[in-house]
């Protein structure tokens, strides 16, 4: 095998950025690979503009450390309250720029773009190499458990009937208020009457723009924009900066870990002795008709994610973060939001550093 890395991270979305920076800051020679041309993942490239899952229902930050650092660097202004929840607005280009700066700031962190996972060597039940590079531990942040799949580790599939994929795109130059349910419904109704697929709005009044989430196929996006321009007052001059409409999967595949976080754990705000991250986002399900069902935690509460959810059950040096953590379909419908992904990414980075350091000490 050529070269060697202590820790390899696969995927440079919110979770992978957090994992790679944390692993390198922990002193490990770290390799980050992604099949894309640069860092960002879903948070940087899909048109999303709100970081969810950073705060409890009083607006207090749930996770310190990297999640706070990244949110401080990326966020636009102060957190905003939407119903019972707090979100932080951001611009995707800023998300990508901050990620790139952080990843370039560490001499012991090597990044390889346009590099999909090709092969993963498994010897004696441990991963020993990734794409021909010797590794001490791997953190799967691919969103779809690509490393685990390659080595045949047990995974849980998500359920598209409760996690319906959607097309996300921003619309700019809107001369109309959309900030209340009534105001948004006045726009959504004509779209529905015209037989267009369901959409939901995240308005950004100060920017005269809105993020549209469309439960349909990518070719519907230009139709929706055209309809709004021609038929809805205030949208005459709307335009999108999105160059590629793509269907985005809300959840992909979760790796079975030493513990599987459940929807009951989330809704009962369960705490764990080996907690490494906190979440308070509700269980948010979306069906194929674009209708969401939201189940909240008790007021003032948060749940914890144990370290066991970030350690693969069958492979001691495989860790996971973000959308791939060990969680059932209900739990991941809460823990998949970016605030949680940043927190589990940083936690997985720390766990992998501890694993590699201990293994190196045992060899001495
Ligand atoms: C429609 C939709 C709306 C959402 N709305 C919000 C919202 O408003 N706010 C919020 O906080 N969250 C939202 N989410 C959830 C959130 O965006 C994602 O769950 C989160 O960004 C996942 O982060 P991640 O790092 O786990 O994975 P990702 O961001 O998906 O990153 C995975 C990375 O792995 C790379 N990769 C994949 N396969 C391979 C491979 N074989 N080899 C190498 N690299 C690979 C990918 O290129 C990618 O860069 C939404 C999700 C969707 C789909």
* pLDDT in the model for residue 346: 98
330 CB less than 6 Å from ligand 1?
A: no
User: Vertex 328, ends 324 and 330: CA angle to 5°?
Assistant: 110
Pocket test residue of 9, 10, 11 for ligand 1, highest count of atoms within 8 A of CB: 11
Distance CA(198)–CA(215), nearest Å, equals 6
- Measured by CA distance, the residue closest to atom 42 of ligand 1 is 116
Distance 142 CA to ligand 1 centre (A): 8
DSSP label at residue 323: G
* pLDDT in the model for residue 244: 81
144 CB less than 6 Å from ligand 1?
A: yes
The answer to whether residues 248 and 168 touch, using CB atoms and an 8 Å cutoff, is yes
The CATH code of the domain at 166-248 is: 3.30.70
Written as six digits, the tokens of 238 are 């709307």
Distance 293 CA to ligand 1 centre (A): 21
354 vs 360, more confident: 354
* pLDDT in the model for residue 3: 66
State pLDDT tens for residues 252-291. Answer: 899 999 999 999 999 999 999 999 999 999 999 998 888 8
> What residues pair up with 333 in beta bridges, in sequence order?
none
- Measured by CA distance, the residue closest to atom 20 of ligand 1 is 338
16 CB less than 6 Å from ligand 1?
A: yes
The answer to whether residues 13 and 44 touch, using CB atoms and an 8 Å cutoff, is yes
Distance 135 CA to ligand 1 centre (A): 24
Task: List the alpha helices (DSSP H) in 55-174.
Answer: 66-74, 92-104, 146-151
Q: What is the mean pLDDT of residues 215-243?
A: 93
- Give the residue extent of every domain in the chain: 2-160+250-363, 166-248
CA 339 to chain centre: 8
* pLDDT in the model for residue 337: 97
315 CB less than 6 Å from ligand 1?
A: no
* pLDDT in the model for residue 74: 97
DSSP label at residue 78: S
Distance CA(242)–CA(240), nearest Å, equals 5
Residue 5's nearest CA partner among 363, 352, 362 is 352
Per-residue confidence band for 226, with pLDDT thresholds at 50, 70 and 90: very high
* pLDDT in the model for residue 93: 92
Neighbouring C-beta atoms of residue 41, cutoff 10 Å: 26
The CA–CA distances, whole Å, from 329 to 88, 134, 182, 262, 298 equal 25, 34, 32, 8, 20
Question: pLDDT at residue 1 above 50?
Answer: no
Q: Is 256 helix (H, G, I), strand (E, B) or coil?
A: coil
**Max CA separation in the chain (angstroms):** 72
State pLDDT tens for residues 178-190. Answer: 888 898 899 999 9
51 CB less than 6 Å from ligand 1?
A: yes
Distance 41 CA to ligand 1 centre (A): 5
DSSP label at residue 196: P
Pocket test residue of 83, 87, 143, 281 for ligand 1, highest count of atoms within 8 A of CB: 143
Distance CA(9)–CA(34), nearest Å, equals 9
> What residues pair up with 250 in beta bridges, in sequence order?
none
**Dihedral, 319, 13, 7, 136 alpha carbons, nearest 10:** 40
User: Vertex 99, ends 94 and 100: CA angle to 5°?
Assistant: 100
State pLDDT tens for residues 85-107. Answer: 999 999 999 999 999 999 999 99
State pLDDT tens for residues 25-58. Answer: 999 999 999 999 999 999 999 889 999 999 999 9
State pLDDT tens for residues 55-82. Answer: 999 999 999 999 999 999 999 989 999 8
Pocket test residue of 48, 111, 150, 204 for ligand 1, highest count of atoms within 8 A of CB: 48
38 CB less than 6 Å from ligand 1?
A: no
Written as six digits, the tokens of 52 are 């969810």
- Measured by CA distance, the residue closest to atom 15 of ligand 1 is 337
Rounded to the nearest 5 percent, the helix, strand and coil shares of the chain are 30, 30, 40
- Measured by CA distance, the residue closest to atom 19 of ligand 1 is 336
The CA–CA distances, whole Å, from 277 to 64, 127, 265, 340, 352 equal 9, 25, 13, 7, 15
2-160+250-363 carries CATH number 3.30.70.270 = no
Atom of ligand 1 nearest to the CA of 36: 47
Residue 109's nearest CA partner among 12, 35, 13, 42 is 12
112 CB less than 6 Å from ligand 1?
A: no
Distance 77 CA to ligand 1 centre (A): 23
- Measured by CA distance, the residue closest to atom 37 of ligand 1 is 142
* Mean confidence (pLDDT) of the chain: 94
Q: What is the mean pLDDT of residues 289-308?
A: 95
Q: Which residue is it, tokens 């001059």?
A: 237
Residue 298's nearest CA partner among 273, 264, 328, 331 is 264
In this prediction, what percent of the chain has a pLDDT beyond 70?
99
Q: Would you call 128 exposed, middle or buried from its count of C-beta atoms within 10 A (0-12, 13-18, 19+)?
A: middle
Radius of gyration of the chain (CA): 20
DSSP label at residue 340: H
14 CB less than 6 Å from ligand 1?
A: yes
Task: List the alpha helices (DSSP H) in the chain.
Answer: 14-25, 41-45, 66-74, 92-104, 146-151, 181-193, 220-231, 263-267, 329-335, 338-363
């Amino acid at each position: 095998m050529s070269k060697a890395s202590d820790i390899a991270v696969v995927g440079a979305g919110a979770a992978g950025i957090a994992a790679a920076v944390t692993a390198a800051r922990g002193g490990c020679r770290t390799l980050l690979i992604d099949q894309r041309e640069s860092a960002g993942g879903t948070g940087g490239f899909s048109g999303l503009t709100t970081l969810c899952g950073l705060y409890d229902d009083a607006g207090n930050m749930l996770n310190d450390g990297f999640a706070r650092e990244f949110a401080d660097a990326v966020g636009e202004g102060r957190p905003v309250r939407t119903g019972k929840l707090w979100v932080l607005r951001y611009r995707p280009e800023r998300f990508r720029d901050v990620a790139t700066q952080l990843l370039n700031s560490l001499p012991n962190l090597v990044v390889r773009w346009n590099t999909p996972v090709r092969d993963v060597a498994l010897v004696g039940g441990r991963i020993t190499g990734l794409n021909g590079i010797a590794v001490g531990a791997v953190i799967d942040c691919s969103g779809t458990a690509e490393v685990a799949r390659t080595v045949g580790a047990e995974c849980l599939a998500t359920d598209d009937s409760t996690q319906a994929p959607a097309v996300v795109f921003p619309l700019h130059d809107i001369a109309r208020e959309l900030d209340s349910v009534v105001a948004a419904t006045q726009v959504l109704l004509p779209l529905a009457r015209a037989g267009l697929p369901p959409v939901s709005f995240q308005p950004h009044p100060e920017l005269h723009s809105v993020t549209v989430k469309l439960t349909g196929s990518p070719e519907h996006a230009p139709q929706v924009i055209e309809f709004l321009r021609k038929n809805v007052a205030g949208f005459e001059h709307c335009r999108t900066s999105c160059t590629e409409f793509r269907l985005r999967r809300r959840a992909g595949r979760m790796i079975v870990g030493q513990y599987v976080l459940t929807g009951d754990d989330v809704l009962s705000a369960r705490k764990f002795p080996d907690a490494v991250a906190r979440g308070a986002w509700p269980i948010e399900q979306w069906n194929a008709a674009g209708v969401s069902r939201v189940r909240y935690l008790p007021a003032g509460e948060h749940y914890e994610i144990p370290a066991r959810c970030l350690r693969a059950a069958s492979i001691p040096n495989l860790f996971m973060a973000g959308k791939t953590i060990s969680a059932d379909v209900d739990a991941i419908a809460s823990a998949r939001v970016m605030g949680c992904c940043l927190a589990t990414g940083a936690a997985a980075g720390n766990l992998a550093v501890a694993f590699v350091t201990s293994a190196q000490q045992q060899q001495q």
